Amino acid sequence: MGIVIETSIWEPSSSVFIFIFFSSFLLLSLFPFYLSKHAPTTKSSAFSDHPFSSSSPRFQLYFLLLYFLASVLEGLWSVYGEFELVYYGISKEDTVTFMLIGFGAALFVGSLLGLVSDLIGRKKTCLVFFILHLIVGILKMVAPSPSFWVANLCLSLATSIFSFSFETWAVVEHDKVDSKLGHRQDILNETFWLMTFFESASLIGSQVIGNWMVGGNLEKGIGSPSIAATLLAILGITCMSRHYDGTTKIMTFKDYRMSFSVYILGDRRIWLLACAQACLHFSIAVFWILWAPTLVADGREVFLGLIYPCLLGARMLGSTVFPWLINASLRTEDCLTCAFVVQALLLSIIAYDYEEIGVLVTQFSLYHACIGLILPLLARLRTMYVPNELRGGMISLSLAPANAAILFILMQRGYYRTIENSTMIVFAAVGLFMAAGCMYVLKREAFKGDMKEEPISTFKD
């Protein structure tokens, strides 16, 4: 007599997605009422009446649409990334090598791209982002057995550009009008949290597009996402080239080098801000490397395809909290300190305590909700402390220590097997505690001088 053992695959309840959607909608819908009662009437907001004929709101809409498009491209390649490698016969050892090459390219080349962006123009660098994705899309469509080495390098450089170029471009363009109208910081605050919100939504959308194009036949449809990526990249290039404005004033290399030494390398506050950014980037990278192995540990079966949008939905929800905190007159450093501590505690629990899948997913979601809040808060601090003309170089260089740390732990784990997954998570938790300390010290540094939120410029027209 045979015995049938029933197995069940864990998946989040549909009520989770309803809760995230309802909470985000509630926070966004109630914010105008809160703003009308508590915020000064002179402040502008994305929820107030901006004349659409104003150049700043028009650019904001144009920018967010392009950023949404770029975010879909970033997420589209990861939908079937690991399956695609297996499909073409790439071994696990080669997969680790691909990851090392990718983070190595981000460390040794991507760290310098921010400096190049400040010198040649931010919008040109954004255009390069779409061109790199177009190259990868064409390569995978044309070649029957595509060169993953070339594709990996292009995508790594594109991700490096994505981390700084769109933000720096938005800040510089907003300054052309908003500083004259007197509501620069308000418009930028709106743009920062909307970027996080749109990025999370577009990553979910990229999963939907990828699954729809592949369909039920993985072998025949594995190359379909490449077609979508190519079309989206062409659309992005067309939109950016059509509205290209080459009149932005750019510094010479000599002036840039001198200004960078004085305003970036010589400012302790920016060092603290860069350290916090590096620690966050490191923890996010560790999370996305280990989240799936952590959930399926001990042979547990999990529906990862439904947990992924749950995490990104939590990040969307966290971003909607940002305007409430800013208009509540809370210090940015205090909010960041609390958020970093919460993240560090969550990772510490995950590293040392065996949890049920539901508890783990809840902790993962809280971690991502903190990310949704932290990203616009860090962007706000960069606007307060970092000169616009040096912003790209500062962001890209601040990510170099994180990429170096990721290279180190990947080599130790992938090749030498000297550390465990839990140890990697502990490293990420320690980094977040360090980031919280940096924000605490930054707050004390702010009291020593006059902290200004007006645009910082290293040269005058």
Q: pLDDT at position 216, please?
A: 63
Name the residue ranges covered by the structural domains of the chain. Answer: 55-446
Q: pLDDT at position 24, please?
A: 85
∠ CA 316-277-63, nearest 5°, is 50
- CA atoms of 222 and 192, how far apart (whole Å): 35
| Per-run averaged pLDDT (10 residues), the chain, 461 residues | 52 84 84 64 42 57 93 85 73 83 92 93 93 92 74 92 94 72 71 93 88 70 80 93 62 88 92 96 95 84 88 94 86 94 95 83 95 96 92 95 94 83 94 96 76 44 36
Arch. (CATH architecture) of 55-446: Up-down Bundle (1.20)
Strand partners, 10: 302
Of 208, 213, 235, 237, give the one whose Cα is nearest residue 226: 213
Q: Give Cα 302 distance to the centre of its chain.
A: 25
DSSP string, 386-431: S-GGGHHHHHHHHTHHHHHHHHHHHHIIIII--S-HHHHHHHHHHH
Main-chain dihedrals φ then ψ at residue 302, nearest 5 degrees = -135, 140
Main-chain dihedrals φ then ψ at residue 245, nearest 5 degrees = -125, 110
Q: Name 175's Cβ contacts closer than 8 Å, sequence gap at least 6.
A: 184, 388, 455
Strand partners, 302: 10
Q: pLDDT at position 47, please?
A: 42
Strand partners, 215: none
- CA atoms of 461 and 458, how far apart (whole Å): 10
| Start-to-end Cα distance in the chain | 88
DSSP reduced 3-state for 354 = coil
Q: pLDDT at position 42, please?
A: 42
- On whether the CB atoms of residues 245 and 122 are closer than 8 A, the answer is no
- CA atoms of 152 and 88, how far apart (whole Å): 14
Q: pLDDT at position 3, please?
A: 42
Q: Give Cα 93 distance to the centre of its chain.
A: 27
DSSP string, 136-157: HHHHHHH-SS--HHHHHHHHHH
